Amino acid sequence: MRLSVFYSGEFGKKVVGNLVNSDSFCVSCGDVCDHCREPRASFASMIVGLFELRTDLPDFVEEPMEYIPDNLPLSDLIIAIDLHPDILMAVPDIVAMTGAKAVIIPIDDSRLVPAGLAEQVKNKLESQGVECACPKPFCSLELTGKSLIDDFVKMGFGRPLLKIDADHVNGLFTHMEVLRDAPCGATWFVAKKLKWSDLKDYKETISSAHHSYPCTASMEKDTQIGDTILHEAGYIIRKSVEEVMESN
């Protein structure tokens, strides 16, 4: 799959860093790092286009394509992260230039990506036969029945999925394996903090780790979900852990 990423800001940098899995991406454990991410695959070879767009644009951009590079590479999937609203409106034009068949527009801050705007772009893309998903937050993305977006989820990115072993006699988590990571990479950090922690304290451990990573989602209340997107992301990783605990 040929993947192009268009992004502005820190959230996009984290997603790209997680996709590439560079040596310097995760520094959460500091001097006690045991290089747990080394066996994880890098998808750098799939990235045919990586475009960090300006964040100092005026409120109204009359010609958004002026800020998009010429000669964009042919792509299968485009991920558009925290783009200026007027540039987001130009995503269908970017799709036409690249031949992309699918687009993911994650929403981790509804001030940057208003739900109505994302839905408008999604409807336009789908009317043109292009797959589109607008997960809020990005770590809520699950299998959709849309082939290319599902291929991205199967690569190991989206709603967290873990394999967990526990010693119920001593009340400890003994093994954590990340089968699907939050696109920003937070799941690895949460799993790291859960291993050898007390089973009974899992909610506090998850919350602390999720905030310490830190999650890049907004702390502004989102009217659609009735809570902050950061809190929603925290509920998602907690529920992902609880689902495995209940099945063990």
User: Identity (one letter) of the amino acid at 90?
Assistant: A
Kindly state the average pLDDT of the residues 203-217.
Answer: 93
What is the reported pTM? 0.94
Convert the pLDDT of each residue in 83-133 to its tens digit: 999 999 999 999 999 999 999 999 999 988 988 999 999 999 999 999 999
Q: What is the number of residues in the chain?
A: 248
Helix/strand number for the chain, H first, E second: 8, 9
Separation CA 135–CA 176 (nearest Å): 25
For domain 3-154, give the CATH number.
3.40.50
Separation CA 75–CA 83 (nearest Å): 18
**Given the structure tokens 């989820």, which residue do they identify?**
153
Q: Which three-class secondary structure state does DSSP give residue 180?
A: strand
Domain boundaries, the chain: 3-154, 161-247
Convert the pLDDT of each residue in 31-64 to its tens digit: 777 788 888 889 999 999 999 998 888 888 989 9
Q: Residue 77 pairs with which residues in a beta bridge? A: 3, 102
What is the DSSP code (8-state) at residue 59? S
